[in-house]
Structure 1
Amino acid sequence: MSDTHEAGQLEMLPGLRASVASGRARRGEAEQRRREAEAPAEVDPVARVLVDVPLAHLDRPFDYLVPASMAETALPGVRVKVRFAGQDVDGFVVARAAESDHPGRLSPLRRVISPERVLTPAVERLTGLVAARYAGARADVLRLAVPPRHASVEKAPPAQAVPGSPPDPDAAARLWRGHDGAEGFLARLADGGNPRAVWQCLPGVDWTELVAQAVAMAVASGRGAVVCAPDHRDVTRLGAALDRVLGSGQHVVLTADQGPAKRYAAFLAALRGTVKVVVGTRSAAFAPVRDLGLVVIWDDGDDLHGEPRAPYPHTREVLLTRAEVEGTAALVGGLARTVEGEYLVRTDWARPLTPPRAAVRQQLRVDVVSDGEQARGARVPGPAVKLVRQALQEGPVLVQTPRAGYVPHLACDRCRTPARCRACRGPLRLVAPTSPPSCGWCGAEAPDWACAECGGRGLRAPVLGRDRTAEELGRMFPGHVVRTSGGDRVLAEVGEDADLVVATPGAEPVARRGFAAVLLLDTWLGPGRPELRSDEEVVRRWLNASALVRPGGRVVAVGDPASALLQTVVRWDPAGFAARELEERAGAHLSPAVRMATVTGAPEAVEEALALVEMPEVVEVLGPVPVEGRGEDPDEVRMVLRVPRHSGPALSGALLAMQRLRSARRLAAVRVQVDPHVL
């Protein structure tokens, strides 16, 4: 074929594409006319449809006519295609009715995408409550609750349910024996009751086995369960424990990173009743489990439980709302106790399940070694070095350091002023021992940096990262392998010959027989930051790392022995810490003692938005204050609104009404967050 002929064909392509598009449009219009001419269904000819349009002022069901040909398939819960604002959009049928309040002529449904009723009545109600709670659009919550359709998976023959292993009440009682109140909790679960508990797990035990046994008690009563964990490593461990306790094929995993086919297959298995147990991350909180009897969340203080997309719901609040709506048991567990968990106990919504202090003392011992030697250049004091050397003779040792990278921050060695990038004012860092200083924000190198305060050119490292820590420990303990875990290199598990493992918080692997010792470095770095949850977060991280030690092992924290936060770990008293933190927050009028919300955006947009809010009778308005932090618009401001907790629904309703007005008037967008996890 000649080049001239090929060029001519290419010139014809745009016309061909336009012709094909025009033909499709004509066929669509013809199909629409046919639908309009078709007689409506004889019974309940009106379908109420939630359209997939994330505009606040359109966040309500719209009425459509059900053609007779769709009378048997356009049932509540199915996906449909409808005509909306001149376009074909997706939606969910939420109800069928005999007549409509709409005075005009109703448009017919375009088509039923699938007869599968993917939106169950319980989940439909839950999404409405979550959207109202967080002042968001229902369409955004539905995207979290119902995964996209995968046609080939849906059309495949459904899997058959397989019999599982019978529950073992004696095994459950034996594993939970180290927790006061657990016996009654499990007994009520097995009898079909709905107990609610805040669980502080005994360190050194396999928490996944305890969760699996609690789920087994719910399954024994003929009900299902939903279990949510922070990340895929925890989900994998939970899945293995459920297989051991319930038997293979008794649960499915539901996470956002599974891929469309696997995620939809797991969703359908729960929807169709093939399995009664779903374990996963945030998205699993909405899983359509039949006869739900128990909801479980592990480590509810982990920020991974907070949804990063609007309307920013937290997994714990979704599950607790579901427990209220569907009348289920609830288990909020972790090695630490969050302030929200303490609030549930304080208000008698839940009962505590805690290990006796004597049982904790048998599991581990925590000591604090003064960091005074750091002033003389010793980052790891002598007693800590001695402990690590002794522990390495018995098994692997975990070292937790709070910063990733090599040297994440630099400062002038003369006046201690933080070193900043000339281009964007970001912090300078070292990524490798032979690399020049570079910006942690924009990546620009600064080989000729000079201090803006004193003119000095020398740099020092006030904070050392994970990689530099591993380098130092390798020189300190020659002959031992040093491995790192964090960032994009997270270890799930290590064996008995792993030697030294240096990990950042949240990336600590599990040792098969537990770590012989755990060393907590740079404990001065986290506390005292001007953030709502800074102290709560560092205590949670220390407890989670310390609990990985084997029974009878040692934990050493390098820091100030007088630190109240370190003493919480020494005494292993997360409940006492949470109680004190709750008292302080109540005195300062902070969440969860009050209901809070933030409105963030351009100054003019925020001012305009608040002018549209009909505030509750009692409200405090704080701000505006500039929004600080990398990646934020430097011109953005934030307003904080807070009301007494009983006025929380009124505040959410007012903010939702404001969002609808702004959407209808096409005003500049603002970001609304109710009870933000980070303030």
Structure 2
Amino acid sequence: MNRSRAAIEPAAQLPVARIAVAVPLPHLDRLFDYLVPVKLDEQVVVGSRVRVRFSGRLVDGFVVERVATSEHPGRLAFLARSVSPEPVLRPEIYHLARVIADRCAGTLADVLRLAIPPRHAEAERQVWSPRHAEVEKESSSAAFSGQPPQTVPESESEPAGWSRYTAGTAFLAALADGRAPRAVWSALPGEQWPERIAEAAACTLRGGRGVLIVVPDYREIARLDAALSHVLGGGQHVTLSASLGPARRYRRFLAAQRGAVRCVLGTRAAAFAPVDQLGLVVLWDDGDDLHVEPRAPYCHTREVLLSRVADNVAVLIGGFAQTSESQLLLQSGWARSLRAEPAAIRRRAPQITALGEDFQHADDAAASSARLPSVAWRAARDALARDMPVLVQVPRRGYIPSLCCQSCRQAARCAQCAGMLALRGGSQTPQCRLCGRPASAWRCGSCAGTRLRATVIGARRTAEELGRAFPGVPVRMSGKDAIVDCVPDEAALVISTPGAEPLAEGAGYGAALLLDGWALLTRPELRAAEETLRRWMNAAALVRPLSEGGRVVVLADGGLLVTQALLRWAAPWFAERELAERAELGFPPAVRMAKLTGPPDALQQFAAGLELPAEAQLLGPVPLSTGATGDSAAAVMEQLLIRVPRAQTRALTQTLHAARALASARKDPDPVRVQLDPYEIG
């Protein structure tokens, strides 16, 4: 062993490599020094992948730095081998990953797993060429060579779309001049937002700077991909998402890494993409929960992108709705608002009507059985008569099992066994979920009422009921089981769950019915009102303007602030009030909050080791759920919230990371889950 080691000579220049090993244990969250064998000197470059022996086994790692000496007092081991000389981890991406890990009380290994896609050797050996577009049957986004990117052609005319927004033209001019404006953009109803983003990207690219665009999912990628190809021309951008598969994703990642393109479009993992001379980051619909990483360290795309912003990087956060986090950026003066004047909003918006619980059911018997208000029924009927599609947004998919009394909302139970009643299949007679007995003669035990209603009507049942209300009209469904991307410009009922609404060809939907608004608003979540408005506005934005007969009917109390925001198309107004309310109550983003989740004993031990700032407040712990085995302590998970002022963020994350490291070193069997500013706080 000693003779073998003596036979290996370290590199003459900078013989020590500092390695980020792919070991996500918090107590090992640091760089480790290894000697570089002379035979691997040229291959082991900063950012390349290597294999090292760590705790008796070979693990992957990235070279973060080459230095002359090490501060480690003991003897250094040699690198086992070089996996690839490709420098996939740029220094700026390493520093970004370290910042995100520290801010989220996570580990560098967890962040690098998100930032760098797995290696694909064949893709690494290839040089991009137009044939990849033909082989993969993709858009022109893949049609580029390994040569430096071409210049984006000059536009023959000024983009008119941005002129509808206050300071919109000035925003594009600043991008073209190489400046770094920062804006929160409230899009107009019916806005062709992919074209607007493509125009902003073109202005930035013409100035010689790069662009990074992140959207929630593949449907937005498809729309923006087409817009970028149209505005920029072929070979100017790539798309990145996990759905591409290992080879295609890695080829596109390398195209950006090697500087073949300077515009990258993708979902949340693309927020870490290497982009040469980054000049603009764009985030669309930052309130969508798809922007939240479901794995450790549970970071939000907005946090990642804003961490990349330097003095010379512009920011555009856009959407039809607006989050409290975006409002905080405006309130602090860090960003400016891009919004249209009220007159422009009125010209583009459909007619929006709100109906509370005291609405009048339609006179039509079939429509009444579908629980449609007369106003909603007429709006749908008129749009269908003009051969236009009608969008129906339903909060839940499928059949919702629980029923309640329509008069007093008391839960409907079986008279025999007290089990909950449900509607099964297309049956109109409720049945007990426990004993299966039909309850055709049900009577409420509280108010003696005889009429039932579902707690929430699911998408499938809504489709059945509306099909009976509008016989002969095609009914299409879009939801989790099968999402429809687009529907033709013809009479049809389109039943969709929030977020799965298809685009309507032509000018858009003739009408939209937003059902069961109270079910969205009464969810026990901090973001219930904000998320409800986002879902409503995203659906209403697909409807034609009032001048073309477009109508939206929302089943919610018109006196609520969130409903008023929809009626007035005033997302910034609502976000301002939402942020003020959260500041008063002490909730994010006005403060920083950590959510700790775990078994009671593990959570108690974890919390006992925290050295919290004096200003910290503890909320809980409270039980979250019980396992199917019963009420045993082992089956219960508890939640503890820790709230601190924003100025104490670093102190909070440091003590959380230290506690995680201690638990990891002890090899605790039940690790505690740590989330900073979690998306869901119930």
Using the size of structure 2 for normalisation, the TM-score is 0.89
**What SS is found at the alignment partner of 1:170?**
coil
Report the counterpart of residue 678 of structure 2 in structure 1: 676
Q: Please, which of 503, 507, 512 is the counterpart of residue 500 of structure 2?
A: 507
Could you tell me how far 1:610 is from its partner in structure 2? 1.3
What letter matches 2:392 in structure 1?
Answer: V
Distance 1:528 1:390 in 2: 31
Report the counterpart of residue 561 of structure 2 in structure 1: 564
**What SS is found at the alignment partner of 1:525?**
helix
Aligned CA distance change for structure 1 residues 645 and 406 (closer, same or farther; 3 Å):
same
Q: Please, which of 237, 244, 251 is the counterpart of residue 258 of structure 1?
A: 244
Report the counterpart of residue 212 of structure 1 in structure 2: 198
Equivalences for residues 565-604 of structure 1 within 5 A: 565-604=562-601
Residue 344 in structure 1 maps to residue 336 in structure 2: no
Aligned CA distance change for structure 1 residues 272 and 302 (closer, same or farther; 3 Å):
same
**What SS is found at the alignment partner of 1:225?**
strand
**What SS is found at the alignment partner of 2:518?**
coil
Per-residue CA distance 1:35-81 (angstroms, 9 max, x = gap): 65211100000000011001001010000000001111111100000
Consecutive unaligned residues of structure 2, counting only runs of 5 or more, are 130-144, 362-367
Distance 2:495 2:345 in 1: 25
Equivalences for residues 308-347 of structure 1 within 5 A: 308-324=294-310, 327-347=312-332
Report the counterpart of residue 496 of structure 1 in structure 2: 489
Residue 186 in structure 1 maps to residue 156 in structure 2: no
Aligned CA distance change for structure 1 residues 392 and 631 (closer, same or farther; 3 Å):
farther
Contact residue 429 and residue 438 of structure 2 kept, 8 A: no
Equivalenced residues, count: 640
Distance 1:70 1:346 in 2: 53
**What SS is found at the alignment partner of 2:24?**
coil
Could you tell me how far 1:430 is from its partner in structure 2? 4.7
**What SS is found at the alignment partner of 2:675?**
strand
Report the counterpart of residue 527 of structure 1 in structure 2: 521
Report the counterpart of residue 166 of structure 1 in structure 2: 153
**What SS is found at the alignment partner of 1:549?**
coil
Comparing 41-50 with 626-635, greater Cα deviation is found at 626-635
Distance 1:175 1:620 in 2: 47
Distance 1:169 1:34 in 2: 68
Aligned CA distance change for structure 1 residues 473 and 116 (closer, same or farther; 3 Å):
same
Distance 2:294 2:161 in 1: 36
Residue 87 in structure 1 maps to residue 57 in structure 2: yes
Distance 2:628 2:679 in 1: 18
Aligned CA distance change for structure 1 residues 389 and 72 (closer, same or farther; 3 Å):
same
Comparing 631-640 with 642-651, greater Cα deviation is found at 631-640
Contact residue 420 and residue 434 of structure 2 kept, 8 A: no
Q: Please, which of 103, 107, 112 is the counterpart of residue 133 of structure 1?
A: 103
Distance 2:421 2:663 in 1: 41
Aligned CA distance change for structure 1 residues 461 and 179 (closer, same or farther; 3 Å):
same
What letter matches 2:61 in structure 1?
Answer: G
Q: Please, which of 533, 537, 541 is the counterpart of residue 539 of structure 1?
A: 533
Could you tell me how far 1:137 is from its partner in structure 2? 0.8
Distance 2:223 2:370 in 1: 38
Aligned CA distance change for structure 1 residues 357 and 634 (closer, same or farther; 3 Å):
farther
Contact residue 437 and residue 446 of structure 1 kept, 8 A: no
Aligned CA distance change for structure 1 residues 330 and 415 (closer, same or farther; 3 Å):
closer
Could you tell me how far 1:226 is from its partner in structure 2? 0.9
Report the counterpart of residue 197 of structure 1 in structure 2: 183
What letter matches 1:447 in structure 2?
Answer: G
Distance 1:588 1:70 in 2: 58
Report the counterpart of residue 11 of structure 1 in structure 2: none
Per-residue CA distance 1:216-239 (angstroms, 9 max, x = gap): 111011011111111110111110
Residue 666 in structure 1 maps to residue 660 in structure 2: no
Using the size of structure 1 for normalisation, the TM-score is 0.89
Could you tell me how far 1:448 is from its partner in structure 2? 4.1
Could you tell me how far 1:414 is from its partner in structure 2? 10
Contact residue 56 and residue 136 of structure 1 kept, 8 A: yes
Distance 1:508 1:146 in 2: 32
Contact residue 623 and residue 640 of structure 1 kept, 8 A: yes
Could you tell me how far 1:560 is from its partner in structure 2? 2.3
Report the counterpart of residue 398 of structure 2 in structure 1: 405
Distance 2:436 2:87 in 1: 62
Contact residue 389 and residue 510 of structure 2 kept, 8 A: yes
Q: Please, which of 597, 606, 613 is the counterpart of residue 610 of structure 2?
A: 613
Contact residue 250 and residue 275 of structure 1 kept, 8 A: yes
What letter matches 1:568 in structure 2?
Answer: A
**What SS is found at the alignment partner of 2:127?**
coil
What letter matches 2:436 in structure 1?
Answer: P
Contact residue 595 and residue 640 of structure 2 kept, 8 A: yes
Distance 1:48 1:437 in 2: 67
Report the counterpart of residue 646 of structure 2 in structure 1: 645
Consecutive unaligned residues of structure 1, counting only runs of 5 or more, are 1-29
Distance 2:122 2:249 in 1: 13
Distance 1:369 1:485 in 2: 25
Per-residue CA distance 1:107-159 (angstroms, 9 max, x = gap): 00000100000000111000000000000011000000000001111112344
Equivalences for residues 78-477 of structure 1 within 5 A: 78-159=48-129, 160=145, 161=147, 163=150, 165-168=152-155, 170-172=157-159, 174-324=160-310, 327-364=312-349, 365-373=351-359, 379-394=371-386, 395-411=388-404, 417-418=410-411, 430=423, 432-433=425-426, 447-448=436-437, 461-477=454-470
Comparing 181-190 with 130-139, greater Cα deviation is found at 181-190
**What SS is found at the alignment partner of 1:568?**
helix
**What SS is found at the alignment partner of 2:73?**
coil
Contact residue 251 and residue 279 of structure 1 kept, 8 A: yes
What letter matches 2:194 in structure 1?
Answer: T
What letter matches 1:134 in structure 2?
Answer: C
Contact residue 185 and residue 317 of structure 2 kept, 8 A: yes
Per-residue CA distance 1:476-508 (angstroms, 9 max, x = gap): 112211111111211111111252111111010
Distance 1:458 1:201 in 2: 43
Distance 2:499 2:431 in 1: 26
Could you tell me how far 1:676 is from its partner in structure 2? 0.4
Distance 1:239 1:272 in 2: 21
What letter matches 2:87 in structure 1?
Answer: R
What letter matches 2:343 in structure 1?
Answer: A
**What SS is found at the alignment partner of 1:248?**
coil
Report the counterpart of residue 481 of structure 1 in structure 2: 474
Contact residue 36 and residue 108 of structure 1 kept, 8 A: no
Per-residue CA distance 1:273-320 (angstroms, 9 max, x = gap): 111111111111000111111111100000110000011000011101
Could you tell me how far 1:413 is from its partner in structure 2? 8.4
What letter matches 2:86 in structure 1?
Answer: E
Could you tell me how far 1:369 is from its partner in structure 2? 3.3
Distance 2:204 2:411 in 1: 55
Contact residue 52 and residue 60 of structure 2 kept, 8 A: yes
Contact residue 626 and residue 637 of structure 2 kept, 8 A: no
Per-residue CA distance 1:555-592 (angstroms, 9 max, x = gap): 12233232322111111111110011111100111101
Comparing 642-651 with 523-532, greater Cα deviation is found at 523-532
Could you tell me how far 1:384 is from its partner in structure 2? 1.7
What letter matches 1:572 in structure 2?
Answer: W
Contact residue 171 and residue 181 of structure 2 kept, 8 A: yes
Aligned CA distance change for structure 1 residues 428 and 211 (closer, same or farther; 3 Å):
farther
Distance 1:33 1:606 in 2: 50
Contact residue 20 and residue 31 of structure 2 kept, 8 A: yes
Contact residue 437 and residue 447 of structure 1 kept, 8 A: no
Distance 1:460 1:535 in 2: 23
Per-residue CA distance 1:635-665 (angstroms, 9 max, x = gap): 1111111111111111111101111111112
Contact residue 49 and residue 62 of structure 1 kept, 8 A: yes
Could you tell me how far 1:393 is from its partner in structure 2? 2.8
**What SS is found at the alignment partner of 2:651?**
helix
Contact residue 366 and residue 557 of structure 1 kept, 8 A: yes
Identity %: 49
**What SS is found at the alignment partner of 1:526?**
helix
